[in-house]
Chains A and B, each alone.
Chain A
């Protein structure tokens, strides 16, 4: 049973073309929702933490938002260096496991 679903799986945009990535989750007892960026051959790089519905965080061309069942990562006027895989991960209580549950990620390519 998938608890975290990210869409689309892959996205190709032109430089400057804004878009949004989706992360939907079915976990209960959410303690926080994390967004990461991962470049090939590297570990995930932390971007944002969102703790409650309605919360928003911004960093350069990225803005993350959170509702009760999903989160969006909005990318405004992206540049080629924004190309990466973007991962979301809720942290939730229960089940005995205390780690993050990652989605499969969205592979984003920004063409110049």
Chain B
């Protein structure tokens, strides 16, 4: 069975631009979460979606937004990119909520110039 897939794998943007990252969950998983991981740190929670509804949001500015589609795939959007947004963006899926194991994709490496 396919795991969590994310696209693109790498992306280079300049300050002020916007970016859309995509995630396809494991088949049958209804919950998708997004995390930001900077070098040397653990992943930091951005959003969780379940059945197309936002269930939780971490401490990130409004420049970050996300949505989940009827097929449970998800997009993370970041506007007005800053140098500090350079990171590995991880998507994780689970059957339902976060009390269940989340399974991660290999992420999108975003570099801001």
Q: List the interface of chain A (C-beta within 8 A of B).
A: 4, 31-32, 34, 36, 41-46, 49, 87, 89, 91, 96-105
Asked whether B45 lies within 8 Å of A99 as measured between CB atoms, the reply is: yes
Distance of A46 from chain B, by nearest CB (Å): 5
B25 within 8 A of A: no
Query: Complex: how many Å from CA A103 to CA B40?
Result: 11
Pair count A-B, CB < 8 A = 70
With a CB–CB cut-off of 8 A, which chain B residues contact A46? 101-104
- Given A43, A91, A99, A101, which contacts B106 in the complex, CB threshold below 8 Å? A43
Pull 20 A–B residue pairs with CB atoms less than 8 Å apart, ordered by A: A4-B42, A42-B106, A44-B43, A46-B102, A46-B104, A49-B101, A87-B42, A89-B42, A91-B98, A97-B56, A98-B48, A98-B56, A98-B98, A99-B33, A99-B46, A99-B47, A99-B58, A100-B35, A102-B43, A102-B44
